[in-house]
A and B are shown apart, each in its own frame.
Chain A
Amino acid sequence: MNVIQGLRPEKLRELVLLILIALVLIVFSSVIENYLNARLFNRVSASVALMAVLAIGQTMVVLTRNIDLSVGSIVGFTAYFVGHQLSQYGDMHPMLAIFLAVGVGTLMGGINGILVAYCRIPSIIVTLGTMALYRTLLVEYSDAKTVLTVNLPRWLLDLPSLNLISFDRLHLRVLVVGMIVVVILFQIVLKYTSFGRKLYAIGSNPEAAKMAGFANQRMVLTAFLLCGALAGLTGFMFLARFGNITVVAGIGFELKSVAAVVVGGVNIFGGSGSAFGAFLGAVLIDLLENSLIRWLQISEFWRDALLGLLILISVATDSVIMKRFQLYWARKQARSSPET
């Protein structure tokens, strides 16, 4: 009981997710031969690196009771834009390339943010619109040409396979480390800074936040800026990993990031959730996808049907456990109700 006493809701959520992930690992290792190996870690970590960064950006926005459906287009645009620049100016400094990606992403996020916060248009409408607009921008800008791997500088092509540390076959890639840094950074910001706490407050009760004198509009704008920046960073990672960038780059990432966020226990109506949770959500989904692909008995065509169902079940599990938890709080409250 004492253990649970110290558990705040988001901690519990994270715990539940960890248990679910462990469960997935156990179940699949019993049906797939040679499942639990270094390769699995390498694969999942490398592809989660992108989705987790994006999902954390999405988390910032969702916490404030908004949503950003344009992230897929931002990823696509920045990937193309930076790729295009790099193929023209191959000697560009790597840092500059990253800044460029983050900068372009931030700009696009900023447009979303201004429209949502200052023009007071519901975020779903704004970002549905900019999802189309940014994609159009990409098509117009690219003129239907592809960014080709051959034209990209060497360092970029080597980046996805660059290992920071390796234990035998287990590789800790640079991109993965980058993602881990982002997760930790944002976890700290959300948990321990008053900026982060105010984001929660705004999402939890915008009206009260206004009454309390928070600069709601600026905060929401900031959330979108951060989301854009992280989407830009994802765009850069996308470019590094996939090399060939066409106009379809990043399509569907918006829904994937939303899925990661909700599976990660971030309340879609704002106010609760954590960066670490979003990361775990991304891991869980990727792990499921990866495992289903590797499962010989599952045909290519069954995979999506199962994936949908499994996502649903994991979200439901989380919600059931949270409900239990709330009941527990209520009981505890009942025991310690106002004394004389």
Chain B
Amino acid sequence: MTNVWKYIRSWESFLCLVLILTISVNAVNSDAFLSIDNQVNLFTLSIEKVIIALIMAFIIINAEIDLSVASMMGLAACALGWLVDSGASMPTALAMCLLIGMLGGLFNGFWVTFMNLPSLVVTLAMLIGFRGLARVLVEDRSIRVFPSWFEELGQQPILGPLPLAVIIFFLLLILAVVVLRFTGFGRYVYVIGINKDMARYSGINVTAVKLILFALSGLISALAGILFAARLGSVRGDMGLGFELDIITMVLLGGVSIFGGSGSIYGVILSILIVLYLRNGMSLSNITGHLQTGVIGMLLIFSAMVPNLKNYWESLRASRS
């Protein structure tokens, strides 16, 4: 009984409420909203961010942050274009890109773990650095060399109405839930996020866990970059510019504490849905640009205020009784 009650008052159920509200308003507002096309589209349009948000949740729960994800995404996409353009075969190029992602992530991880620098600082520098490398590869060109199967993979549905990227996302989602919630590695991610010194004193290999997380972050960002390239069919140096803030917003709105140690993938997926539906609803009502961003910003602040209001209300009730 108490468990049910606790669940009902949890952050996730609050998000659920917001989500249902958003969906209802959208459905009333626009006929097009509920169409399958639109539902798939609204996912597809942000699928790369959403995929990265999953790994970002791990990183933030681990009390780190990776600001370089979007730049890595751009770098991987540009590297793919550059490699194919310079004659590499598609499979080689894809493998190389994923490798670049992983190495880039490890590079971040190296400075964070071995040099003991704050990840905010390291990844802020590499936000500039990786983007710079992407520029080095493509300069002012826009590269459009991909075979048609690759573009189709990015643009055509392959399972029912779902394109590949969405399917990959769902697979990764399940994986993320299982790993974070039920495995030893997931437990380590939390514990290190709570207190990494304590984790080290408990014989946990903090360095390894962090390195793995950063490598995965790079790898998945690269994967997202590849999917992005496939979806758009061509690559340029500015791909994914500024995505990092959207991604972090999704994760934080999902109730993951910026100080690490708490949060869940359920919350993150709910907040992803909220952000996507909200944006889609606004787009359908012809609200674009800054107003959209402003509304999301407001939502972020308000939703962070709710738990405090709840506490306040409870303490008020407690003091009265």
Contact in complex: A302, B252 (CB < 8 Å): no
Chain A residues 116-152 with CB under 8 Å of chain B are: 119-122, 124-126, 128-133, 135-140
Is A255 an interface residue, CB under 8 A from the partner?
A: yes
Contact in complex: A139, B128 (CB < 8 Å): no
Is A162 an interface residue, CB under 8 A from the partner?
A: no
Q: What are 10 A-B contacts defined by CB distance under 8 Å? A: A125-B301, A126-B304, A132-B290, A132-B296, A132-B297, A268-B118, A307-B132, A309-B125, A315-B117, A323-B116
Q: Which residues of A contact B144 (CB under 8 A)?
A: none
Is A301 an interface residue, CB under 8 A from the partner?
A: yes
A262 to B121 CA separation, bound complex (whole angstroms):
7
Is B160 an interface residue, CB under 8 A from the partner?
A: no
A136 to B248 CA separation, bound complex (whole angstroms):
19
Contact in complex: B305, A121 (CB < 8 Å): yes
Contact in complex: B308, A128 (CB < 8 Å): no
Contact in complex: B122, A312 (CB < 8 Å): yes
Q: How large is the interface on B (under 10, 10 to 19, 20 to 34, 35 or more residues)?
A: 35 or more
Task: Name the distance in Å between B42's Cβ and chain A's nearest Cβ.
Answer: 20
Q: Which residues of A contact B111 (CB under 8 A)?
A: 312, 316
Q: Would you give the 0/1 interface string for A238-270, flagging 1 where the beta carbon is closer than 8 Å to chain B?
A: 000000000100000001001100100000110
Contacting residue for A258 out of B124, B132, B301, CB 8 A: B124
Q: Which residues of B contact A319 (CB under 8 A)?
A: 115-117
Q: Which residues of A contact B128 (CB under 8 A)?
A: 304, 307-308, 311
Task: Name the distance in Å between A180's Cβ and chain B's nearest Cβ.
Answer: 27
Q: Which residues of B contact A120 (CB under 8 A)?
A: 308
Chain A binder among B79-87, B133-141, B179-187, B214-222 = B133-141
Which 5 A-B pairs give the minimum distances between C-beta atoms?
A: A308-B129, A305-B132, A304-B132, A136-B294, A132-B297
Contact in complex: A125, B117 (CB < 8 Å): no
Contact in complex: A139, B121 (CB < 8 Å): no
Q: Would you give the 0/1 interface string for A309-336, flagging 1 where the beta carbon is closer than 8 Å to chain B?
A: 1011001100110010000000000000
Measured CB to CB, the nearest residue on chain A to B126 is A308
Is A306 an interface residue, CB under 8 A from the partner?
A: yes
Q: Which residues of A contact B130 (CB under 8 A)?
A: 308
Contact in complex: B305, A119 (CB < 8 Å): yes
The chain B residues found within 8 Å of chain A, CB to CB, are 111, 115-118, 120-122, 124-133, 135-136, 139, 237, 245, 248-249, 252, 257-259, 289-291, 293-294, 296-298, 300-301, 304-305, 308
Contact in complex: B135, A301 (CB < 8 Å): yes
Contact in complex: A126, B301 (CB < 8 Å): yes
Contact in complex: A121, B118 (CB < 8 Å): no
Task: Name the distance in Å between B304's Cβ and chain A's nearest Cβ.
Answer: 4
Contact in complex: B259, A122 (CB < 8 Å): yes
Q: Known interface pairs A128-B252, A139-B289. Does A303 touch B297 (Cβ–Cβ under 8 Å)?
A: no
Task: Name the distance in Å between B194's Cβ and chain A's nearest Cβ.
Answer: 16
Is A115 an interface residue, CB under 8 A from the partner?
A: yes
A138 to B294 CA separation, bound complex (whole angstroms):
11
A115 to B117 CA separation, bound complex (whole angstroms):
29
Contact in complex: B293, A136 (CB < 8 Å): yes
Contact in complex: B121, A268 (CB < 8 Å): yes
Q: Known interface pairs A119-B305, A128-B245, A268-B121. Does A308 touch B127 (Cβ–Cβ under 8 Å)?
A: yes
Task: Name the distance in Å between A181's Cβ and chain B's nearest Cβ.
Answer: 29
Task: Name the distance in Å between A253's Cβ and chain B's nearest Cβ.
Answer: 13
Measured CB to CB, the nearest residue on chain B to A123 is B258
Contact in complex: B308, A119 (CB < 8 Å): yes
Chain A residues 134-187 with CB under 8 Å of chain B are: 135-140
Task: Name the distance in Å between A191's Cβ and chain B's nearest Cβ.
Answer: 24
Task: Name the distance in Å between A304's Cβ and chain B's nearest Cβ.
Answer: 3
Q: Which residues of B contact A304 (CB under 8 A)?
A: 128-129, 131-132, 135
Q: Which residues of B contact A258 (CB under 8 A)?
A: 120, 124
Task: Name the distance in Å between A193's Cβ and chain B's nearest Cβ.
Answer: 28
Q: Which residues of A contact B136 (CB under 8 A)?
A: 301-302, 305
Contacting residue for B301 out of A115, A262, A268, CB 8 A: A115
Measured CB to CB, the nearest residue on chain A to B248 is A128
A312 to B305 CA separation, bound complex (whole angstroms):
35
Q: Known interface pairs A125-B300, A125-B301. Does A307 touch B129 (Cβ–Cβ under 8 Å)?
A: yes
Contacting residue for A129 out of B124, B135, B290, B298, CB 8 A: B298
Contact in complex: B132, A306 (CB < 8 Å): yes
A255 to B241 CA separation, bound complex (whole angstroms):
14
